[in-house]
Structure 1
Amino acid sequence: MLPLVTRDELKAMLDAGEVVVVDTMPPAYYAREHLPGAVNIPGFPYEEAARLTDELAPAVLPHRAAPIVVYCANTPCRNSELVGARLVSLGYTDVRKYREGIEDWVAHGLPTRTAAG
């Protein structure tokens, strides 16, 4: 299991520009709404999570030592754990998970972005 980060910790890291956030939702969900600055590595369908991570991570996460936080929809969502674990297996050294996901972020009135801006 990945180490966890709280909403407040993640917000502080985002505000300070100290983290790369990875949205692990399917591309259509990412396009509709994601955390500010997030990149997309889909963790669904589950059986494709490893392949998609292998293909996309080198381009969107070029620095393996960078602080990374993965998230998905909510606590039961498995996407972030699958993508995060794969990143660790690929040699990324600082991967954490925002377990509560975008639903929690939005419920607390924090900003999001869309693919259009």
Structure 2
Amino acid sequence: MLPLITRDELAAALKAGTVVVVDTMPVAYYAKEHLPAARNIPGFPYERAKEFTDEHAPRVLPDKSASIVVYCANVPCRNSELVGARLVELGYPDVRKYREGIEDWVAGGLPTESASG
């Protein structure tokens, strides 16, 4: 299980520029709405999360020493746990999970972005 980060901690880290955020939702969901400056590594369908992480991580997360936060839709969503665990296996030492996901972020009134700008 990945270490957790709260919404307030994540918001502060984003503001300070000290984390790289990874949206683990499917590409269409990422394009529609994601946390500011988030990068995308799809973690769904679950059985392809490892494959997608292996494929995207070298390009999306070239700095293995970066402080990384993964998230998906909400607490029941497993994408972020699967992608995050695989990132740790691939040698990323600092991976945390924003368990409550984008639904909590939006509920907190925090800004999001979309692929269309």
SS of the counterpart of 1:74?
coil
**Cα deviations across residues 53-107 of structure 1 (Å, max 9, x unaligned)?**
0000000100111000000000000000000000000000100000000000000
Aligned-partner Cα distance in 2 for 1:109–1:56 = 30
The percent of aligned pairs where both chains have the same amino acid is 78
Aligned-partner Cα distance in 2 for 1:23–1:106 = 14
Aligned residue for 1:32? 32
Structure 2 unaligned residues grouped into runs of 5+ = none
Query: Which aligned segments of 4 or more residues in structure 1 are displaced greater than 6 angstroms?
Result: none
**Cα deviations across residues 5-51 of structure 1 (Å, max 9, x unaligned)?**
00000000000011000000000000000000000000000000000
Aligned-partner Cα distance in 2 for 1:48–1:55 = 11
Aligned residues: 117
Give TM-score scaled by structure 1 length: 0.99
Aligned residue for 2:73? 73
Query: Offset at 1:116?
Result: 1.2
SS of the counterpart of 1:21?
strand
Aligned-partner Cα distance in 2 for 1:74–1:47 = 19
> 1:60 corresponds to which letter in structure 2?
V
Q: Does 1:53 align with 2:66?
A: no
Aligned residue for 2:20? 20
> 1:103 corresponds to which letter in structure 2?
E
